[in-house]
Amino acid sequence: MRTQSHLFAGLALLSGAWAKVRYLGVAIPGIDFGCDIDGSCPLNTTQYPSVSHGHGDGAGQMKHFVKDSGLNTFRLPTTWQFLLNEQVGGKLDDYNFGLFDELMQSCLETGAYCMIDLHNFARYDGGIIGQGGPSDEAFADLWGQLAYKYANEDKVMFGLMNEPHDLDVGLWAKSCQAAVTNIRKAGAASQLILLPGTNFTNAETFVTTGSADALADITNPDGSSDGLILDLHKYLDINNSGSFEECTTDNIEAFQAMADWLRENKRVAIISESGSSMSDSCMEKFCAQNEFIAKNSDVFIGFVGWGAGSFKYNYIMTLTPFQDGDRLEDNKLMKQCIIDPFIKNAPASTIITSKTKTKGLQTQTLTTHTKLTKSTASEDDISTIESLSFTCTTDEAAPTSLPVFKEGSKSTESHDSKPDDNSGASQRMDLFIGGSVALVGFVILQVF
C-alpha cells in the first residue's frame, strides 16, 4: 500500500533544534524510601515529601525550581505497594493514591511536566513482572488505572518502571507493551511514556543488553511509536550506584554510543535519573557529563537530576534547596552542573540527522547548524521550526518514533495537518523554508 510519508524524518530531528533540552528537572522522592532492588517497598518507611507529614517540602521545592531555577519537569516516585495499599491486582487505594495525587496536583499547578515513577525495579516483593511474579495483566491494570485518572492532563508522563534488572529483556518488553496498550486505551492518547531497559536501565549497556532493540519494537495501539521514549539512567561512581562520594567517569563515551544508536534508529531518550556528590571529582565529571548531554539535545530530550524531595541536605547526592532567609536557594551541584550547562550556558543547537532507508528512496545524512540560541530563539521561531514539514511518496510509512509536541498541546502535532485558511503568511514561510531545505536535500542526493 502506498502511503504519504515525511522526508522530515530523514532530514532532521527537529524537536532537538532548540538548544535546551525540552524537559529539565529533578526528582521529588520520599514515597519510595525503603524500597529494595527486589521490589519490596515497606509502607512504614515512606517519607511523604510534605511539611505536614514532617518531611521535605515537595510542593515548595517544585514552586522554587520552576520560578527561580528555570526547571520544568519533576519525577514523582511512588510504589506499587503504596498505590494499591499492598493489594496486587486491586484498585487504587483512596487514601494512599489521594496523597500521591496531592503531590501530583502540586506539580501540575506549577505548570511543569510531572512524571509518575513506579519505583519497583520490575518486581513486587521479589517476583519479576511477567516472569514468575505479578502478571503482565496486573501490571497493565495498574497503569490503566493511573492513565484513566490523568488522561486529560497533558503534562503527566508515565515512567513505566524504575531500573529493571536481572530479567529476560524480551519478556520485559512484552510487559511494557501490555502497559503501553492499557495506558492508551484508558484515554491517555498523547502523553509521553518512558520505556526502561534491564541492568538498571544503564545508558552504557542499554544497547548491548538488547534493551534498545527490544523496547524499540513497542508500539501504540495504532501501530505508531509516537510518544514512546527510551528511559536512561547513569551514575558516575565506581559501580554506577550513586553510593560513593568520588566519581570515576564522566560518562561521555557511554552517552556518545547511546546518541549514535538513537540517531541511527531515529529515536529519542530522556535521562530520568543521574546525580553525584559535590566532591571535586564529581563536580568536574558531573558537569562535563551534562554539558555533553546538552550538546546532544537532538536525541537526549530531557534530563532529571536525583534528587530533592525528602532528602536531607547531607544526603550524598542532594539537590534539595536550602533555606536562605525567606527564600529557597539552590546548592552548587544544582547551579553549576544542571542549571549552568542546561540553561545558562546552553550551546547553540546542532541538528544532526540519521541515514534513512525507505523502499524506493535513499536519504543521505545531512548535518546543519541552526542560528537559534537560548537567548535569541523566540516561541514563534521554535513553532516555525517544529511546523517545518513536507511530504514525498514512498512505499513505506515514515518512522513515527519521534514525537513533536507543542507546549501546552494535548496531542502530538500532525505534520499532515493543514493550516488555517487565514494563515497565509505562515503558509508562505513554511513553503519558503520547506522549499529551501528540499533543495538542499535534492543537491545532497545528487552528490551522493
Strand 350-352 versus strand 123-124 pairing type: unpaired
Distance CA 377, CA 18 (A): 8
Specify whether the CB–CB gap between 197 and 211 falls below 8 A.
yes
Q: Is 273 a residue of the active site?
A: yes
Q: What is the DSSP letter of 337?
A: I
Specify whether the CB–CB gap between 290 and 261 falls below 8 A.
no
Strand 3-6 versus strand 391-394 pairing type: antiparallel
Q: Is 246 a residue of the active site?
A: no
> Sign of torsion, CA 297 302 305 308?
positive
Catalytic residue among 137, 153, 163, 291: 163
Distance CA 423, CA 4 (A): 23
Specify whether the CB–CB gap between 307 and 268 falls below 8 A.
no
Calculate helix-pair angle for 280-295, 252-265, nearest 10 degrees: 20
> If we measure between CA atoms, which residue out of 296, 272, 278, 295 comes closest to residue 337?
278
Strand, coil or helix: 180:
helix
Give how far Cα 266 sits from Cα of 138, 211, 433, 440, Å: 32, 16, 22, 21
* Buried b / exposed e along 374-384 (16+ C-beta atoms within 10 A): beebeeeebee
> If we measure between CA atoms, which residue out of 94, 101, 14, 103 comes closest to residue 62?
103
Q: What is the DSSP letter of 125?
A: T
On the 0-12 / 13-18 / 19+ scale of CB atoms within 10 A, 388 is: buried
> If we measure between CA atoms, which residue out of 366, 347, 372, 371 comes closest to residue 295?
347
Q: How many C-beta neighbours within 10 Å does residue 89 have?
A: 12
Distance CA 179, CA 137 (A): 8
Catalytic residue among 86, 102, 109, 273: 273
Q: What is the DSSP letter of 92?
A: P
Distance CA 123, CA 164 (A): 8
Residue 212 C-alpha cell reads as 534498545
* Residues designated as active site: 163, 273
